[in-house]
Amino acid sequence: MKKAELVLIPSPGISHLVPSIEFAKRLLDRDDRFSITVLVIPKSLTGSSEYTQSLPASDTRIRFINLPVVETPSLEKSEVSKEKLVADHRESNKPYVKEAIIKNVLSNSDSVPLAGMVFDMFCSSMVDVGKELGVPSHLFFTCNAACLALMLYLPGRDDEGVIPGYVNQVPSKVWPLFLFNKYGGYESFVKHGRRFKETKGIIVNTYSELEADAVKCLMNDFEDGDVPSVYTVGPLIDMKGENDDSERDGIMKWLEDQPDSSVVFLCFGSQGSFGEDQVKQIALGLEKCGHRFLRSLRKPPPNDKIGEVLPNGFLERTKKMGTVEGFVSHCGWNSILESLWFGVPIVTWPMYAEQQINAFQMVKDLGLGVELRLDYRNTSGEVVLGDEIASAIKCVMESDNEVRRRSKRRMKRADQR
């Protein structure tokens, strides 16, 4: 018999939706006395999402309610940053969230008592809804514990610039760009950090064995003592993914035909893409390193013109070594957790958001990554040469590489959770 209802409010981005839904599934697997309602915010900033449309069929134990579309100004025509637009968009959904909870949960005679709200890190303003309804609010933080420590530090930051949660002092070149944004980005994240402290608890998609120093910092080292209880629940991973069955079957068949631990996988995130010059350099690096590979072009040209982007004869020369597919990767936290789950070492090539500081943590603090770049950004215009790419891949693919051994050990720890 159901005892309590939880309302989840994830952000619409795929990197936030996936771990939020996996958290809901994990919770229901462990305790079926809960019932869960997910309020789905339409992704108006960057268009609709096939993943969002597929949610109702993903788990019949979860009730999904679509909120009304709230349009926002286009980034090109706005005088504020994307971070500010996102924060304002989430805040503008507050009345619809409150209405949906009242109508579908509190006023529903068939519903069990509402035990609390769990909202995404970019939906921190929803703490106001919880207060208005007298409902406990919890934060679901989709990034890592070190990044959470950074955001909690921002509202009361000192002038020394020493970021808590990291073993080594973080150089400014890998700080997230929002820390330097003068058009509302920095202020938005300061406000998020302040609102985090108004919640009853913070749920983080990580595990303490991986980020021991950052978790210790969150639990013990904040001097003001106003940080809510922190709960590590990761790694939360979607094993199925977005690809359709026919595409997945083809990739898996090819991978199964290769020797163990012989394929390098290139992936640059849900928003990561390169210009033609960089695409060619990646191809040259892959061919030069001599290892089998699985590679994705995030925004590939039409199938009949793909050869025009790659070096002459590349597809023919490497057809038995690798394949070009529509999958992606980067130094985003979800991808890092997936890599560690399977004991796969990482070559770091961050592009946007907090990925630079993630790459720094993996290489410098944890020793689980090989550095290709730590401070690369997809807006820089820099082209990384094929020789550098080949060298980094060769390093991480060496059987006696220490990073590979550490990654295998982390796999065992993650698999025990």
Q: What's the confidence (pLDDT) of residue 400?
A: 79
Task: Indicate if 245-410 has the same CATH topology as 4-232.
Answer: yes
Instruction: Give the residue among 5, 2, 28 at the shortest CA–CA distance from 106.
Output: 5
Higher pLDDT pick, 160 / 379: 379
- The answer to whether 45 touches 85, Cβ cutoff 8 Å, is yes
**Residue-wise over 185-214: b if at least 16 C-beta within 10 A, else e?**
bbbbbbbbbebbbebeebbbbbbbebbebb
Return the SS3 of 128: helix
- What is the mean predicted confidence (pLDDT) over 305-311? 56
- Closest-CA residue to 299 (of 323, 316, 275, 278): 275
For the segment 220-251, what is each residue's pLDDT rounded down to a tens digit? Answer: 866 566 889 999 999 999 877 655 566 677 77
Position 242 scores a pLDDT of: 56
Q: Is the dihedral of CA 127, 130, 136, 137 positive or negative?
A: negative
**Predicted pLDDT of residue 163:** 83
Tens-place pLDDT, residues 196-221: 999 999 999 999 999 999 999 998 86
Q: What is the pLDDT of residues 78-136, one digit of tens each?
A: 778 989 999 999 999 999 999 999 999 998 767 788 999 999 999 999 999 999 999 99
For the domain 4-232, what is the CATH code?
3.40.50.2000
Residue spans per domain, the chain: 4-232, 245-410
Domain 245-410 sits in CATH at: 3.40.50.2000
Distance CA 254, CA 322 (A): 9
